[in-house]
Chains A and B, each alone.
Chain A
Amino acid sequence: MPNADGSIVRLEGVHKWFGDNHVLRGIDLVLQEGDVQVVVGPSGGGKSTLLRCVNLLELPSQGHVWFDGQDITDVRTNLNEVRTHMGLVFQAFNLFPHMRALRNITLPLEKVLNLSRTEAEERAREQLQRVKLEGKADAYPGSLSGGQQQRVAIARALAMRPRLMLFDEVTSALDPELVGEVLQVMRELAADGMTMMVVTHEMGFAREVGTRMVFMDGGVIVEAGEPRETFANPRSPRLQEFLGEIL
């Protein structure tokens, strides 16, 4: 079994081409239950594409992705079912602008998990409370700040009770003073033992919260290791250069 080692996600030899553009050049990655896997690296290095390959929003051109022992790159996989176990939070929030915050969260609960409206609303309010937005249940996304929208988006993903949360540069579109509140929610999530994969430019957050990190550049994993150790003593010249540029 591919998850005999207890892995929740396993990527093997994942390649991705966009036309002639070879974005991922053979990625191998394993996530264990409870890992907070941070992915850092320069823009265009393939970080977001890698994350989107985990829940198959992008179909890998080559290679395999296992989730909980199931090869989800197999064409027979019911991807809609698999995706209910993986929450994804986007850089651009992507809340449904024509629905109130609460409805944004209950819609997939009712339509995908077939919960009753009362059950769905109960669960949604629980999650809004978790991201400290219980007062904004009836607000439309357009009337919320970026940080609030992103927390609703996190609540929407959490309400599905996923086994894995994927974060795709979730603070990059936020004004600097709003970054903290979103990071705080993610910090608490990690403390609760949620398995997470986080693509981020927040190096402080990566070092503090991550249990494992990879540094990606040019479509390959250049360096992997324990975050504090790796940030303190980068081995590869490329990571040394990268850290030198941003610090």
Chain B
Amino acid sequence: MSAEAARTDLPPPASLEAPPDIRGDSSPFARSILTLGACGLALVLVGTIAIQIFYAVAHTPDPQVCLANGIIPYQPATASGPASGIQGWQGVCNIVLGLTSRAETAVLVTGIVLGVASLGIGLLSYRKADTRRKRDHLVTGAVFGGQAVNFGILLLIFVQSPQKFVLQFMNFYQLRGHDGVALVTGIKYTLVLAFGGEIGGILIGLVVALLEISGRRSVRAPATVYINLFRGTPLLVQLSIGYFGINLGLGLHLSSFTVAIAVFALNMGAYSAEVFRAGIQSIERGQMEAARSVGMTYLQAMRYAIVPQAVRRVIPPLLNEFVILIKDTSLVIIIGLYLNQLDLFSAAQQGYSDTFSATFFLAASIGYLIVTLPMIGIVNAVERRLRSGLVSVAGGGV
């Protein structure tokens, strides 16, 4: 009886509108540590950029000061002598002046001090926090502070003497005019080379993969030899043999661009054949057996049952190979493209040999990143979707 009475005393189960917030509340102290760390990091990064923008927009450099920094102002050619000095010296000088300014040092030192403070306080106090949200804020503040200290100290060392680096790598003036345009068309020809090689490589790879999984050794052997030859030798050597040895040596009279695409396709074919083989072999044996059991031929089973499933699984590794190929197209410089169809790296190299400014290589790096970063993003997105099972409708339910 008493147990029953106790049971009726229990409150009815609380019906919750939403899952409860188990993270709890923050506190002014925790929030201020988070703000402190974020401010330190922002000072170091945003402050440096702001100072650069200020100098670039609102400052006219004094030629004497620039000269003292080793940046020789440009003098056009006159009757008495040829042109001398550095083209775009104002821009280079402003970058140096901005980096070496008192304001920059002040920003960095302040950022480092804030960083050290939030790092120290955050790390010392986060264990004592009594809610998860407080702990999150303290730890994040400490991490921001740590990053502020890290970047701040690196920049502080760098701004002691940035002149040579800026002159060599940040002379953006050199990119203007003809050579700058060449970099943009360079991206185009890099993509043409890469897509040409990729499409050819996928076609070759699919056929070779089908040979590679054959039950007959006589069919497998040539495929294996091809794959091993192209995977086992450097692309640079393959380009040289294809262009100098076969095209020039045997007199085929093809353009270096055509030869390059052909070699990239053959090289890619070997790698994608392995990707396709793995993809096809990852499809359950039962799929082939089911297709054969209703009377399909081996090729029909491949065409309708196996390959469509394998293709989904090989998309991420194929895109990975594609990213690698985009970068490897730069090797085409060994065989030399026509001046009107230079790829990104060849164009940058051309610019460098005209000006001896490594800024071209920096610009080319950015050009490659513009192409490869979205590709890498796509690979990651596709892999996530494959993992969550949205793309692969497979599974079979067993």
Residues of A that sit less than 8 Å from B by CB: 55, 57, 80-81, 83-84, 86-88, 90, 92-98, 107-108, 111-113, 140-142, 144-146, 149, 153, 156-157, 160, 173
**Contact between chains at B300 and A111 (CB < 8 Å):** yes
Known: A90-B286, A96-B287, A111-B304. A141 touches B294 (CB 8 A): no
- B381: CB under 8 A from chain A? no
Contact of B396 among A57, A83, A84, A142 (CB under 8 A): A142
- The smallest C-beta distance from A224 to any residue of chain B, in angstroms, reads 26
Contact with A along B292-304 (1 / 0, CB 8 A): 1111110010001
Taken together as a complex, chains A and B put the C-alpha atoms of A80 and B398 apart, in Å, by 28
**Contact between chains at A156 and B397 (CB < 8 Å):** no
Measured CB to CB, the nearest residue on chain B to A85 is: B295
Taken together as a complex, chains A and B put the C-alpha atoms of A79 and B240 apart, in Å, by 49
Q: Using Cβ atoms and an 8 Å threshold, which residues of chain A touch B293?
A: 55, 57, 83, 86-88, 157
Q: Using Cβ atoms and an 8 Å threshold, which residues of chain A touch B297?
A: 80
Q: Using Cβ atoms and an 8 Å threshold, which residues of chain A touch B394?
A: 97-98, 142
Q: Which of A97, A144, A156 has the most CB of B within 10 A?
A: A97
**Contact between chains at B294 and A108 (CB < 8 Å):** yes
User: Could you show 17 A-B contacts with beta carbons less than 8 Å apart?
Assistant: A80-B295, A83-B292, A87-B293, A88-B289, A88-B290, A90-B290, A92-B398, A96-B291, A97-B392, A97-B393, A97-B394, A98-B308, A98-B309, A112-B294, A113-B295, A142-B393, A146-B397
**Contact between chains at B305 and A96 (CB < 8 Å):** yes
Q: Which of B293, B300, B394 has the most CB of A within 10 A?
A: B293
**Contact between chains at A94 and B290 (CB < 8 Å):** yes
Measured CB to CB, the nearest residue on chain A to B287 is: A94
Q: Which of B296, B397, B398 has the most CB of A within 10 A?
A: B397
Q: Using Cβ atoms and an 8 Å threshold, which residues of chain A touch B21?
A: none
Taken together as a complex, chains A and B put the C-alpha atoms of A83 and B297 apart, in Å, by 10
**Contact between chains at A141 and B396 (CB < 8 Å):** yes
**Contact between chains at B396 and A112 (CB < 8 Å):** no
**Contact between chains at A112 and B290 (CB < 8 Å):** no
**Contact between chains at A112 and B393 (CB < 8 Å):** no
Q: Using Cβ atoms and an 8 Å threshold, which residues of chain A touch B291?
A: 96, 108
Q: Using Cβ atoms and an 8 Å threshold, which residues of chain A touch B396?
A: 92-95, 97, 141-142, 149
Q: Using Cβ atoms and an 8 Å threshold, which residues of chain B touch A55?
A: 293
Contact of B397 among A86, A87, A142, A157 (CB under 8 A): A142
**Contact between chains at B397 and A107 (CB < 8 Å):** no
Q: Using Cβ atoms and an 8 Å threshold, which residues of chain B touch A98?
A: 308-309, 312, 393-394
Measured CB to CB, the nearest residue on chain A to B392 is: A97
Q: Which of B305, B308, B312, B396 has the most CB of A within 10 A?
A: B396
**Contact between chains at A94 and B304 (CB < 8 Å):** no
**Contact between chains at B398 and A93 (CB < 8 Å):** yes
- B395: CB under 8 A from chain A? yes
**Contact between chains at A112 and B296 (CB < 8 Å):** yes
**Contact between chains at B290 and A140 (CB < 8 Å):** no
- B4: CB under 8 A from chain A? no
Beyond the given pairs A94-B284, A149-B396, 17 more chain A to chain B contacts, judged by CB atoms under 8 angstroms and listed by A's residue number, are: A57-B289, A57-B293, A92-B286, A93-B398, A95-B396, A96-B309, A97-B393, A98-B309, A98-B312, A108-B295, A113-B295, A142-B393, A142-B396, A142-B397, A146-B397, A146-B398, A149-B397
Q: Using Cβ atoms and an 8 Å threshold, which residues of chain A touch B398?
A: 92-93, 146, 173
**Contact between chains at B397 and A96 (CB < 8 Å):** no
Q: Using Cβ atoms and an 8 Å threshold, which residues of chain B touch A140?
A: 393
Q: Using Cβ atoms and an 8 Å threshold, which residues of chain A touch B287?
A: 94, 96
Taken together as a complex, chains A and B put the C-alpha atoms of A142 and B396 apart, in Å, by 6
- The smallest C-beta distance from A184 to any residue of chain B, in angstroms, reads 20
- The smallest C-beta distance from B363 to any residue of chain A, in angstroms, reads 44
Q: Using Cβ atoms and an 8 Å threshold, which residues of chain A touch B309?
A: 96-98
- The smallest C-beta distance from B315 to any residue of chain A, in angstroms, reads 14
- The smallest C-beta distance from B147 to any residue of chain A, in angstroms, reads 44
Measured CB to CB, the nearest residue on chain B to A96 is: B305
Contact of A144 among B286, B305, B397 (CB under 8 A): B397
Taken together as a complex, chains A and B put the C-alpha atoms of A78 and B251 apart, in Å, by 49
Measured CB to CB, the nearest residue on chain A to B308 is: A98
Taken together as a complex, chains A and B put the C-alpha atoms of A134 and B296 apart, in Å, by 25
Taken together as a complex, chains A and B put the C-alpha atoms of A81 and B398 apart, in Å, by 30
- The smallest C-beta distance from A172 to any residue of chain B, in angstroms, reads 10
